[in-house]
Structure 1
Amino acid sequence: MGLADRMIRLLWAVGGEEVAERVLRAHWRVLPSDDPAGRALRGRLVEALSLESPGLADRIRQAVLADEVSLLDDAERAAPSRAAVLAIVRALPVGSSS
């Protein structure tokens, strides 16, 4: 799955079509060359989404988790290394609504 598809899926899962379109139009930027997985872009989009929808922190975290898991290959998904788990935990936005 391409980066654009991943970001659309992430935003759609949290806020639906209208929010996804608005946030993408306002915050899509060219990726830094040292960020091929798009985590910097995702961080900007998640920040904008968090500001727009502060009550949806848990849904945002779930969407980021799903995106991180989608970056793992089949072997890592079946038996994630400690490093992979730590990377996923570090990628999750801080805080929740509960």
Structure 2
Amino acid sequence: MGLADRMIRLLWAVGGEDVAARVLRAHWRLLPTDDPAGRALRSRLVDALRAEAPGRDAEIREAVLVDELALLEPAERARPSRATILGIVRALS
């Protein structure tokens, strides 16, 4: 799944079509070259999503978790390392 699809899925899961379209239009930017997984972009979109959908933090964290899991290779998903788990926990905070 591509980055754009991942970010649309993340925003849609929490805010629906209207919120997703509004947040993407306002906050989509080119990725920094040192962030090929798009975590910096995701962070920016999550901040905007928190402003658009206050009180939905649990849903936002769940959407971030789904996105983090989508980044894992199948072998890593089946048996994640301690570093992988800590990275996911950091992404959720």
Equivalent residue number for residue 36 of structure 2: 36
Mapped to 1, the partners of 2:84 and 2:65 lie a distance apart of: 12
Q: Percent identity?
A: 74
TM-score (structure 1 length as normaliser): 0.93
Aligned length: 93
TM-score (structure 2 length as normaliser): 0.98
**Structure 1 runs of 4+ off > 2 angstroms?**
none
RMSD: 0.5
Equivalent residue number for residue 86 of structure 1: 86
Mapped to 1, the partners of 2:54 and 2:86 lie a distance apart of: 25
Query: How many angstroms does 1:52 deviate by?
Result: 1.2
Mapped to 1, the partners of 2:47 and 2:59 lie a distance apart of: 13
> Which sections of structure 1, spanning at least 5 residues, go unmatched?
none
1:9-88 aligned at under 5 Å gives the runs 9-88=9-88
